[in-house]
Amino acid sequence: MENFIYSYPTKVFSGKGCVKAHLKDAIKTFNKKIMVTYGGGSVVKTGTLSIVTSILKEEGKEVVLFSGIMPNPTWEKVKEGARKAKEEKVDAIIAVGGGSVIDASKIIALQARTDEDIWDLEINKRGVSSVAPLPLGAIVTATGTGSEMNGGAVITNEETKQKNGLFVSAPSFAFLDYDIIKTLPRKQVLSGAFDTLSHAMETYFGTSSTLNPSDDIALSVMRNTVDNINVVINDYLDKEARSNLAWDSAMAENGILKIGRKTDFQVHMMEHQLGAYTDCNHGEGLAVLQPIYMRHVYENVLEKMVRFSKFVFNVEEKNDEETAKAGLNALEDLIKRMDLPTHLMELRMKDEPSKLITEENLKKIAESTILIKSGAKALTHEEVLEIFKEAI
């Protein structure tokens, strides 16, 4: 294993009704003025926002609302939130939403505490802020990203056409409440579940010298994710399956699978730049790219691919090569049964795919993709472009 230091900053509350039961205890360390961040109108329509704000007010907190955080949150929206947090002199933030809302809120919490441009500091100067962010908690409405248990935040800079990860601090607490996550539409449930599977796959297929504990845990998380996806395909409101997927999501990105590992997040880097240019749904973009990428690299990690095929999809053929291919076929079949896109032209985008998926744009997307050196295979920008072209 690689050397590592690991700590667990986030207290997790999980289970049906846990927000009503425990939110008042979770916010005891938060001072009086709390900004609640969220996306569109879904948390209003479902009553989630009302539940959260009512509890805060009952506990004597003053509530400031900040709405409109979009999927693929932008740097401009983050700065808007930070300005409001400063102007209102808020003491803490509670993010009510999925990965996009939680990601944006992490950076808002830091940017509100400093005049230094966090994007410029982390992306251009490769620095780290010495300022402590505002305290942050998360109430998850959409699972898949695992953002509630890590310090990463993926933000899109529309001006520079970059979708990059910034790093701050993980939320101090997170709620995975079935009464809240059950309100998510089926399509979002499944696209989020594929994001979870992709996270675990990319961690597992990264370079490591031995069959370490992280690999075995990753295989278990992937199998559990697939097993529960199969339940949700038939009944997306199944309480046990949805609750299991919520914890799979957190496990895939809370750092446990990465302990002592170098990871392969090449597909995520490709999808990030695809999203920067098209604003496509993240999980759906991954579903298009992941199988194509794996067919390009599986021979470089054949032993791991065989274990993946056998353990996650329960397939085995006469030799390792055929077993690996059977696993890839099973992955593609799963994506189809999830009703997720299999080609770029099927993705939901900010404009017609035919206007965005052009030869010129694909070249720009490929050339701006961050290349991962610790992956199953170190790709070139030319190979990334080839994968995008195959995905059309």
Which of the four CATH numbers 1.20.1090.10, 2.60.40.420, 1.10.357.10, 1.20.1250.20 does domain 188-390 have?
1.20.1090.10
Q: What is the pLDDT of residue 251?
A: 96
AA letter at 196 = T
Best CA proximity match to 99, nearest among 234, 229, 286: 286
Band of pLDDT at residue 1, cut at 50, 70 and 90: low
- Cα-to-chain-centroid distance, residue 154: 8
Burial of residue 89 (CB within 10 Å: 0-12, 13-18, 19+) is exposed
Best CA proximity match to 176, nearest among 103, 105, 250: 250
- Cα-to-chain-centroid distance, residue 177: 18
Q: What is the mean pLDDT of residues 379-383?
A: 97
Q: What is the mean pLDDT of residues 46-55?
A: 96
With tokens 């050196």, the residue in question is 373
With tokens 């597909």, the residue in question is 267
Residue 13 in contact with residue 172, Cβ under 8 Å? no
Nearest 5°: the CA angle 287, 291, 297 is 140
Judge whether residue 309 has pLDDT over 80: yes
* Helix segments in 93-139, DSSP class H: 99-111, 118-119
Q: What is the pLDDT of residues 184-233, one digit of tens each?
A: 999 999 999 999 999 999 999 998 766 788 999 999 999 999 999 999 99
DSSP designation for 148: G
Nearest 5°: the CA angle 113, 118, 120 is 150
Write the CATH number of the domain with boundaries 11-181.
3.40.50.1970
Judge whether residue 170 has pLDDT over 90: yes
Residue 256 CA to residue 230 CA, distance in Å, equals: 25
- When the pLDDT of each residue in the chain is averaged and rounded to a whole number, the result is 95
Judge whether residue 5 has pLDDT over 90: no
Q: What is the pLDDT of residue 2?
A: 73
Judge whether residue 262 has pLDDT over 90: no
Side-chain-side CA neighbours of residue 364 (13 Å): 14
Residue 41 in contact with residue 13, Cβ under 8 Å? no
Q: What is the pLDDT of residues 334-369, one digit of tens each?
A: 999 999 999 999 999 999 999 999 999 999 999 999
Residue 222 CA to residue 228 CA, distance in Å, equals: 10
Helix (H, G, I), strand (E, B) or coil at 162: strand
Element (H, E) at 290: helix 282-297
Q: What is the mean pLDDT of residues 161-177?
A: 95
What ranges do the domains of the chain cover?
11-181, 188-390
Q: What is the mean pLDDT of residues 237-256?
A: 96
Residue 96 in contact with residue 64, Cβ under 8 Å? no
Quick one: angle between helices 186-204 and 282-297, nearest 10?
A: 30
CB atoms within 10 A of CB 309: 25
Q: What is the pLDDT of residue 41?
A: 84
Best CA proximity match to 181, nearest among 217, 156, 145, 154: 145
Residue 249 CA to residue 194 CA, distance in Å, equals: 10
Residue 56 CA to residue 6 CA, distance in Å, equals: 32
CB atoms within 10 A of CB 115: 7
Residue 199 in contact with residue 253, Cβ under 8 Å? yes
Q: What is the pLDDT of residue 209?
A: 64
